[in-house]
A and B are shown apart, each in its own frame.
Chain A
Amino acid sequence: MKHSDNEKRLNQRHSGLEQVRKSSDFHEFSPFEEDEGLIRVAYYSSLVSDDKVTRYLLPALREHRDRLGQPEELMDLLPFAEVMIANTEKEVVAKLMEGYVLLRMDSAEDLYVLANLNNAQTGQRQSNDTENEFSVMGPKVGFVENLDTNLHLLRQKLATPALIFETLTIGSHSNTRVVIAYLEDVTNPEIVDTMRQRLKSIDYEVLYDTSQLEEIIADQSNTMFPLFISTERVDRVTFALTSGQVAVFTDGSPYVMAAPANFLGFFVSPEDYCLPWILGSFHRIIRLLSVVFSVFATPIYVAIMTFHYEILPETILGPLIQSRIHVPFLPVVEVIFLEITIDLLREAGARLPSKIGQTLGIVGGIVIGEASVQAALTSTILLIIVALSALASFTTPIVKMANTIRLLRFPFILLAALWGGLGITIGFLMLMGHLMRLKSLGVPYLAPLYPFRTDNLADSAIRASYQYLNRRSLFLRPLTTYRYHPQSRKEDDYAE
């Protein structure tokens, strides 16, 4: 990115220690009133634990007052794990922003001693339940807004030295720490390189959440589909890493991004692996079917009611006609009215506290539904279809994908209203064309379906038994193919 000279000068001025002193939460004082030049302590009181300063730092300084002459000696005296010496002001400012305490001596003006006394845990929420990706079976530990806690959670789960964290700093104003995590013996280095390059090339102001990164570094930003999995579940990130993906953590975000993602991966729930494989497969198939139902149910209703009454047997056609005989609107108007009502309910429910949200669901669902049928605004059968397709759209485990699927039906409804079945077909072809072109970190989005790879089908639409799940997904080009060697299978099954 190019900056004008003026901007550059402004940046330089803003990065010095002078700039730091302007803020009222920046404290600078000397612990010894009579000899102010001996040592000066400076820190952001909003970032540093006052408790640590008064209980450990100041007593230590007072105790060894006579040995405070040299910075090197001071380093040994301080009872903290992270103590360092910096030479430039720029470095000092960066560390101050992370919650370090600056110690300066008049005797050594160019050397800055820094000690880490930050209070990272303050202001963090205590509960780390997985709120948005709930599961009945399996662990319920989720990530929180603190990066170190998140890394701790992951390291605890993957206790191997192969797990590598790489830290980058992104955001001209937020200077947010972003960590790339990967398994060195599994993940293809090309994927890590691509991710690192894309993250490094970002120029952005304040990074609030990992989800922002997703759109910034996406291969194709003009798409409704999420190109990376964003999750708050520790087990899902662990699974992603072991299958050869990289994970990206952002400080201050409970969401972790796993890449490269494929379309079917969004319908995998960690719960599938906690249930018997037959049940797991059943749930997965239900989820995929519910996507189809959720996208196509109402458009097909519109198409049939507007154009193709012939394709229904008359025993179904009769009740359908009877249910909407008093409705004055075109089928498409009726459908859009109800679909938007459902989306209103969902949006309102998401913005309200959970208890009011529940009440709203009852009020909206029962009262509005019942009343709009009574008032002949919609037909009862359509109400059932819309409610079912809304329900179906909530089965997708990843929130971002669920939202996409909910939105996807609107263009289809319009196409169905214009051209009936032909319109749905045209829309479907365009959707497939779009999906086939999508790539996530250079890996085809529809893999293993397109390009078709039989090796990876055991863990795609179905979840096969564990003895067949020991191969990693080959479209991720992992460094090692096998995850484990089940005893029930013979040795020659593993021939590469």
Chain B
Amino acid sequence: MRNKRLRRFVVLTALMLGMTLTLIGCMQTRIVDRIKILTVLGVDQKNGLYQTIGLYMDHMENDRIKSIHGEGDTVELMLSQMNMQSPHTIQTGKLRMLVFSRRMAEQGLDSFLHTFCRSPITSTSMILAVSEEPPQEMFQSLKGKNREGLPYHLIEQNVTSDNAPLNNLHIFLFNCYGTGRDAFAPYLKRNKYGKIEFTGLGIFQYDRLKLVLDAKETLLLKMMKGRGKGGILPVQINAGSEEHVAALSLLKEEPSMHFALDHGEALKMTIDLHLIGMLKEIPRMNMRSEITYKYTVSELEQQINDNAIKLLNKLRDNGVDPLGLGDFVRGHQRSWDEEDFYKREYPRMRFEVHTHLTLKESGIGY
């Protein structure tokens, strides 16, 4: 009996030891201070080669931004080339931002997205952006700066303060691969002082960059996408004889869309924009008088209508649909075909925007 128990004990121990060893073999140890955690990856494609720059924080030297460059035919080769230059393994698990150069974005991102972004370690809340010049050059100025300098902070800040629509890898992929909609991504540029600035929105047609919107258009687009809460729109105000630029600070934006067949076959898309806002830095005028108030409001509404229609026409003429109008129509039509819609119906689509503005306050700025 003793022998039997001993044998059982030995077998059990051996089994557990075996299990332990197998499982340890499976685990990949990644001790935090012995790895390089990339936070931003900039990608450019030149002659079929990926040329990348990775930004990471150097904790040995007081948390300063450092960069590492890589080159390769595929993402994997590029990463292994980065590893060749580094005393620690490169880890992409905490990547917060992916920046493509305009050149690469115009050539198409499909192959890169298909490989890199589908890996389970890639976070889908990562921000995707397009830079005017190759990221390697753009990020040169960031070296040696502290954490604040990492460019995703500026995009996050502008999304929370509602200057730009929310965008991350998850939303990008949904817009890119979803039917009846097109993807968009923040557009970065270096300004004349050498600082990285968020200047607008790059609009994609499937995986190719087609159009770049400026800041004002970005705000209008965000307003029409809906459920926004902020943003400042420059508006023209007629005070007596002279034109004056004032700032319309928006508090709430609520669009509602509907469409109808207009004159036979062309679709007419009507967007009702309900806005609540404050008018700031107005010229010398009496906003308390009913006539002036009504006049100003209708003037502002007209301006927003015109600008919005201009933007919608621009998007239509470029054949891109970041608002998801195709998807909206699909939800209301029994027989909807993506190819058919964008080839025949979208180019002929007419737009109408009705803005309903409520001014809560007006006065000086801030």
Q: Which A residues are within 8 Å of any B CB, using their own CB?
A: 304-307, 309-310, 314, 317-318, 320-322, 324-325, 327, 330-331, 418-420, 422
Expressed in whole angstroms, the Cα–Cα distance for A306 and B35 within the complex equals 11
Question: Is B37 interfacial (CB 8 A cutoff)?
Answer: yes
Binds A, one of B24-32, B41-49, B222-230: B24-32
Q: Does B291 contact A (CB under 8 A)?
A: no
Contact between A324 and B27 (Cβ–Cβ < 8 Å)?
A: no
Q: Report chain B residues within 8 Å CB of A306.
A: 29-31
- A331 vs B34: C-alpha distance in the bound complex, in angstroms? 11
Which chain B residues (19-73) contact chain A, with CB distance < 8 Å? Answer: 20, 23-24, 27-33, 35, 37, 39, 57, 59-60, 63
**Chain A residues closer than 8 Å to B63, beta-carbon distance:** 318, 322
Let me know if A314 and B96 touch, CB within 8 A. Answer: yes
Interface string of B155-177 (1 = CB under 8 A from A): 00000000000000000000000
Query: Contacts A314-B39, A321-B33, A321-B59; is A418 near B20 (CB within 8 Å)?
Result: yes
Shortest Cβ gap from A313 to chain B (Å): 9
Tell me, in angstroms, the Cα distance from A306 to B33 when the chains sit together. Answer: 9
B94 pairs with A309, CB closer than 8 A: yes
In whole Å, how far is A35's beta carbon from the nearest beta carbon of chain B?
Answer: 68
Q: Are B147 and A419 in contact (CB under 8 A)?
A: no
Residues of A within 8 A of B24 (CB): 418-419
Judged by DSSP, the binding face of B is: loop
Chain B residues positioned under 8 Å from A321 (CB to CB)? 32-33, 59
- Write the chain B residue with the least CB distance to A308: B30
Contact of A419 with B32 in the complex, beta carbons under 8 Å: no
Tell me, yes or no, whether B257 is within 8 Å of chain A by CB.
no
Q: A366: shortest Cβ distance to chain B, in Å?
A: 26
Q: Are A418 and B23 in contact (CB under 8 A)?
A: yes
Q: Does B121 contact A (CB under 8 A)?
A: yes
The 26 sampled A-B contact pairs (Cβ below 8 Å) are A304-B32, A305-B32, A306-B30, A307-B27, A307-B30, A309-B30, A309-B93, A309-B94, A310-B93, A310-B94, A314-B57, A314-B94, A317-B32, A317-B37, A317-B94, A318-B63, A320-B32, A321-B33, A322-B59, A322-B63, A324-B32, A327-B33, A418-B23, A419-B24, A422-B23, A422-B27
Contact assessment for B59 and A318 in the assembled complex, using a CB-CB cutoff below 8 Å:
yes
Given contacts A309-B35, A327-B33, 12 further A-B contacts (CB under 8 A): A305-B31, A306-B29, A307-B27, A307-B28, A307-B29, A307-B30, A314-B37, A314-B96, A318-B147, A324-B32, A325-B33, A418-B24
B96 CB contacts on chain A under 8 angstroms: 314
> Which residues of A sit under 8 angstroms from B93, Cβ to Cβ?
309-310
Given A310-B121, A318-B59, A418-B24, A324-B147 contact (CB < 8 Å): no
Complex: A304 Cα to B93 Cα, angstroms: 13
Closest residue on chain A to residue B91 by CB atoms: A309
> A309 near B23 (CB under 8 angstroms)?
no
What residue in chain A is nearest B24 (Cβ atoms)?
Answer: A418
